[in-house]
């Protein structure tokens, strides 16, 4: 994500969109890969998703609703009591470190991965464009430098605290599970269809999506090259 934003044209494309709202943005934090969420019962197939009420939003909610899951929008403080009472069957939040603090493991023992809808939690500083252009270049540079440093600090911290938090959760009896392959494939198919439909009706989405997909393909190709494998080994 950072590579695409900084060097692959991602930041320019995002700011092209933000300009319509008289804003500009700079990447300022990333919490890394997300978990798939907490479930009160085990998920063994796509059929097990049908009728489940899950706190999940955005593209993910739209996608899983096509598979019969019922997405719900709840604030952080409302999730635990809803899970405890059974008015929610599942929820997703962030990852082990943040999830542990909200206590979901006490009322939902099955912890699933990956959070395919949020491969990384990317945050931006969003700034009024008029005010940004009024700033001296030195102040703009300070903001860019500070945002870059924050990005590195945040992902560094999360990569440190998440493994320890996951160990603590497992010691509390949490059952760590990967989503079944048929669930992953079904979600992928629905997601691709939704992205294709959006690309036909939303020019900004199409530009961003096409750029990211192309960059991702090249990135994966590079990571699988013989030199990369020999270096990794």
Predicted confidence at residue 232, as pLDDT, reads 46
Q: Could you tell me which of 51, 36, 114 has the C-alpha nearest to residue 88?
A: 51
Average pLDDT over residues 164-191: 97
Tens of pLDDT, residues 117-173: 998 999 999 999 999 999 999 999 999 999 999 999 999 999 999 999 999 999 999
Tens of pLDDT, residues 87-107: 999 999 999 999 999 999 999
Predicted confidence at residue 113, as pLDDT, reads 97
Q: Report whether pLDDT(34) > 90.
A: yes
Which CATH architecture group holds 2-23+31-220? 3-Layer(aba) Sandwich (3.40)
E strands, the chain, are 23-30, 37-39, 53-55, 70-72, 90-91, 110-113, 122-128, 175-178
Q: Report whether pLDDT(231) > 60.
A: no
Predicted confidence at residue 233, as pLDDT, reads 43
Q: Report whether pLDDT(202) > 60.
A: yes
- Under the banding of pLDDT at 50, 70 and 90, the label for residue 217 is very high
Structure tokens at 9: 């044209």
Domain range list for the chain: 2-23+31-220
Average pLDDT over residues 204-226: 88
Structure tokens at 40: 């009160």
């Amino acid at each position: 994500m950072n590579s695409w934003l900084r060097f692959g044209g991602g930041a320019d494309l995002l700011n092209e969109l933000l300009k319509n709202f008289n804003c500009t943005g700079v990447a300022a934090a990333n919490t890394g890969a997300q978990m798939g969420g907490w479930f009160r019962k085990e998920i063994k197939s796509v059929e097990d998703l049908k009728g489940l009420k899950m706190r999940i939003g955005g593209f993910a909610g739209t996608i899983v609703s096509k598979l019969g899951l019922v997405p719900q929008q709840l604030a952080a403080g409302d999730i635990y009591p809803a899970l405890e009472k059974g008015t929610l069957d599942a929820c997703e939040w962030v990852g082990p470190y943040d999830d542990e603090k909200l206590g979901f493991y006490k009322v939902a023992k099955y912890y699933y991965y990956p959070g395919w809808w949020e491969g990384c939690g990317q945050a931006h500083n969003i700034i009024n464009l008029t005010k940004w252009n009024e700033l001296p270049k030195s102040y703009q540079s300070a903001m860019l430098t500070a945002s870059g440093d924050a990005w590195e600090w945040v992902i560094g911290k999360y990569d440190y605290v998440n493994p320890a938090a996951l160990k603590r959760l497992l010691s509390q009896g949490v059952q760590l599970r990967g989503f079944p392959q048929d669930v992953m494939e079904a979600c992928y198919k629905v997601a691709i269809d939704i992205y294709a439909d959006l690309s036909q009706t939303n020019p900004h989405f199409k530009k961003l999506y096409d750029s990211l997909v192309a960059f991702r393909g090249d990135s994966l190709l590079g990571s699988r090259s013989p030199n990369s494998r020999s270096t990794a080994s």
